[in-house]
Structure 1
Amino acid sequence: MEIKNKTTNRVSMSLLLLLVVFTFSKCKKGSEVANPDSQLNTIEKTLAASNSKNGIKALNLSNAVSDGGFSYKAYGIAVDGDSQSNSTISTLRLFENGKELGAAHSKHDDIRKMGKGRFSHWLSTLYFSASDNTDPRTNGRTYTYSIDGSTSIGVPPVTNPSLPDGKTPMDSEAIIGYASVNGKTTGGLGGRTVTVSNLAALKSAVSSNSAKIVRVSGRITGKGYINVGSNTTILGLKGSSMEGVGLLMYGTNNVIIRNMTIKNVVTYSNIVIKEGAHHVWVDHCDLSSDRNHGWDYYDGLLDVGNRADYVTLSWNRLHDSHIPMLIGFGDGNTNDSGKLNVTVYKNYFYNVSERQPSTRFGYMHVFNNYLQNGSGYGIGATMGATVRTDNNYFENQNAPIRTTYNAKPGFVSGANTNIYKNSGANKISTSASTWVPSYEYKSALISAAQVPAVVTAGAGATLNF
């Protein structure tokens, strides 16, 4: 009994000392006062952390929380790092998909405001940012760290499930373009399949970030938008439709949307991809509103912006809209530079005014699209955007390609590969670009003369799931 009491007293004293240390340390770094959400929780996480201090470790993001701005906090690093008394003692090295991040020992305010891989190992907590300021909890990347100087090598950018018998995701042709660059877009491959037929069920089915395939049946009506989580495939079954409510990818990744018919969404666009969302494929959808209510009643049909990246938009019908497709939301969104890599191919635009698409800042590859009956401009390249056009077919377009309507022009390559039927002249104010995307697409490229027949026959919600 005496031995047990002494042991209990020693454990209690140790825990008391830990509590004292955490309670009275106001850990300041730059403009940061490090105050963990719960000191007891922090102690528990620290005590529960792995005792091993050697080699490469996977960073546990299950309990990570936002620290504001671009900064996120991950608890439970097994070895204490920097402190108020020694702000550079940590030896932690941080890796994203095997590539080392930094600068280490950054001020916490700099991590929040600037991000770009900056991090700080402060006591047992890691304050860090992704290399491109996306949310590390949902961007699909692997984060590892070492304490002993080990380096992380060969971690793939995206974990791609193996596909049986050489089949491609969702038994379709391989995704072409940017949705397959720097990783692959597999959607909900490998996850549970569920069929929904009402708005509440659809919202619930697509909300999580776990892998899932959601099949939409019948006619769904509503207002506003539905937030779509990462690792999601949404498939419209034959004859299905959505009216009045759109789909929003807000910072999520690895999403496939196919065969959906969405129309008459007020205030919001039918499909929006934004806030750092990446690896998104929108394919064989029918998107529309009308041109009877004026320019301000509806928004667009398919919009990409605010640092979104690695997007492919293919085989869609976009019609009866003043402003069907926008890539880059504003002239002031300069942080879109280096983002907005988007492929637009074999889409059918008709009975529209302009934006087929309108682009800013990014690199857009626009090939084999059929643009018919546009009263304004067809493809717009502004604010330094570079647009490669290959074998598109413009028919009855007022100004097929234009660079002159926003604050700064963009750049166009391949304008001489297109067919312009009953259309006005291009309004391109910059020298011709020579840019061509690096991915392979020539095997899928058809001649411009073939585009009207091929695209009208195949675009839209024509798949049979």
Structure 2
Amino acid sequence: MTSTRSLFASALLVVQAIATPTWLRNDDATAVAASVNDVATLGYASVAGGTTGGKGGQVVQVSTYEQLAAAASGNEPKIIVITGPIMAEAKTRVGSNKSFIGKNSRAELIGNGFSIVKSKNVIIRNLKISKVTAKNGDAVTVQASTHVWADHLDLSSDREHGKDFYDGLFDVTHGSDYVTLSNSHLHDHYKASLVGHSEKAAEEDTGHLHITYANNYWTNIGSRTPSLRFGTAHIFNSLFSNVTDGINARDGAQVLVQGNVFVGMAKPLYSVDKKGFAVASNNRVLGQGAVGGGESKAASLPSPGKLSSVPYKFDLMSVDQVQMSNPTRAGNTLTF
């Protein structure tokens, strides 16, 4: 009988036993111009009616937490442009049909993030969000919500505190659906991105939790890059560096993993608890093997999956392109 490990040996990862390279984020990279009226054109957020956010609604500029919280409420279409740093120990509750836009690289939320609960049609772009403590949730929380596009974000905390001092950077739970996280830099954090909050939530989550992770840059992360229960995820064109535990497919999750680069990781793609499923191709690992080490629970490779295509068009870059471009392209690098 062919083992799960051997089934993945040829298709999963191209392992290159060479010295681990170092990439430096270039914060002075030329910013890319974008429009506040942009809509989701990538990933699951672009299908089943799409994600338009506040397009066509009032455009307001905010520079304080009070202004941000007021603008975020209600369900009328609105484009909210954040013009500078906002520091507050709080969470911003988000209504439906909203676009949150960081005007430039100075737009930053410190200690406060977005709570998208029972809402739909939300866009968040070009923002730096940092140091949201666990009592205030995640940098971005998506619960019981549909059609969310998070793009060109810089999400972080620190790893000087214990792993539970902060919660997640981008967590998608409670039957949420049609979500895309793209062109973002997730870094300096323990538990980055959880999809599916509990093994007991099969009834709520099965058939939902469709999520795309595209063109992202993950650095200095402990785990959950992402961790998925029950959902359906497409993870492509992403660079993972100095990450302890990689993509964790569990509790029946189906994952398609394409065109990613994993640097110095013992477990780029693995499964714990009840098995998840994966199809993987055109990925590269630099320095470490495909499985083992780094987590208290016994880990193994996911079982061969059935997710081999997605209902949207996308461009798969070469792994060389991913290595070179993601460190400078991912994050809050847009201007409006």
Shorter-chain TM range is 0.7 to 0.9
Give distance in 1, aligned partners of 2:199 and 2:58: 41
Q: What is the match of residue 60 of structure 2?
A: 194
2:304 alignment partner AA: A
Q: Does 1:211 align with 2:77?
A: yes
Q: What is the match of residue 99 of structure 1?
A: none
Q: What is the match of residue 266 of structure 1?
A: 133
293, 305, 313: which one aligns with 1:441: 313
Q: Would you say the 8 A contact 1:224–1:266 is kept in 2?
A: no
1:190 alignment partner AA: G
Cα-to-partner distance string for 1:163-183 (whole Å, 9 max, x where unaligned): xxxxx9746585211111211
Alpha-carbon distance change, 330 to 183 in structure 1, aligned in 2, over 3 angstroms: same
Give distance in 2, aligned partners of 1:352 and 1:195: 33
Q: Would you say the 8 A contact 2:277–2:306 is kept in 1?
A: no
Which structure has the larger Rg?
Answer: 1
Give distance in 2, aligned partners of 1:321 and 1:265: 11
1:456 alignment partner AA: P
Alpha-carbon distance change, 277 to 197 in structure 1, aligned in 2, over 3 angstroms: same
Q: Would you say the 8 A contact 1:347–1:369 is kept in 2?
A: yes
1:288 alignment partner AA: S
99, 109, 114: which one aligns with 1:247: 114
- Percent of pairs with identical residues: 38
* TM value normalised by structure 1: 0.61
Q: CA deviation at 1:412?
A: 0.6
Give the match's secondary structure for 1:372: strand
Give distance in 2, aligned partners of 1:174 and 1:445: 18
Q: Would you say the 8 A contact 1:348–1:369 is kept in 2?
A: yes
Q: Would you say the 8 A contact 1:358–1:380 is kept in 2?
A: yes
Give distance in 2, aligned partners of 1:169 and 1:312: 18
Give the match's secondary structure for 2:45: helix
Q: Does 1:308 align with 2:167?
A: no
Cα-to-partner distance string for 1:360-385 (whole Å, 9 max, x where unaligned): 1010000011110012x111100000
Q: CA deviation at 1:303?
A: 0.6
**Which residues of structure 2 form unaligned runs of 5+?**
1-33, 292-298
Q: What is the match of residue 184 of structure 1?
A: 50
Give distance in 1, aligned partners of 2:319 and 2:61: 39
349, 356, 377: which one aligns with 2:218: 349
Q: What is the match of residue 326 of structure 2?
A: 455
> RMSD between aligned alpha carbons?
1.5
Cα-to-partner distance string for 1:111-161 (whole Å, 9 max, x where unaligned): xxxxxxxxxxxxxxxxxxxxxxxxxxxxxxxxxxxxxxxxxxxxxxxxxxx
Q: Does 1:401 align with 2:269?
A: yes
Give distance in 1, aligned partners of 2:302 and 2:107: 44
Give distance in 2, aligned partners of 1:224 and 1:437: 40
Q: What is the match of residue 425 of structure 1?
A: 290
Q: Higher strand fraction: Structure 1 or Structure 2? A: 2
Q: Would you say the 8 A contact 2:44–2:312 is kept in 1?
A: no
Q: CA deviation at 1:217?
A: 1.3
Give distance in 1, aligned partners of 2:148 and 2:312: 18
Q: Would you say the 8 A contact 1:178–1:312 is kept in 2?
A: yes
2:58 alignment partner AA: R
Give distance in 2, aligned partners of 1:229 and 1:398: 40
Q: What is the match of residue 156 of structure 1?
A: none
Alpha-carbon distance change, 291 to 171 in structure 1, aligned in 2, over 3 angstroms: same
Q: CA deviation at 1:424?
A: 2.8
Give distance in 1, aligned partners of 2:35 and 2:94: 19
Q: Would you say the 8 A contact 1:364–1:386 is kept in 2?
A: yes
Alpha-carbon distance change, 430 to 263 in structure 1, aligned in 2, over 3 angstroms: closer
Give the match's secondary structure for 2:322: helix
Cα-to-partner distance string for 1:39-61 (whole Å, 9 max, x where unaligned): xxxxxxxxxxxxxxxxxxxxxxx
Cα-to-partner distance string for 1:177-197 (whole Å, 9 max, x where unaligned): 111121110000000000000
Give distance in 1, aligned partners of 2:156 and 2:302: 33
Cα-to-partner distance string for 1:294-335 (whole Å, 9 max, x where unaligned): 111111111101110000110111000011111111111111
Give the match's secondary structure for 1:409: coil
Q: What is the match of residue 16 of structure 2?
A: none
Give the match's secondary structure for 2:234: strand
Give distance in 2, aligned partners of 1:324 and 1:230: 25
Aligned length: 292
1:439 alignment partner AA: P
Q: CA deviation at 1:224?
A: 2.5
Give distance in 2, aligned partners of 1:441 and 1:360: 25
Q: CA deviation at 1:218?
A: 1.3
Q: What is the match of residue 278 of structure 2?
A: 412
Give distance in 1, aligned partners of 2:265 and 2:199: 25
Q: CA deviation at 1:429?
A: 4.0
221, 233, 244: which one aligns with 1:364: 233
1:300 alignment partner AA: G
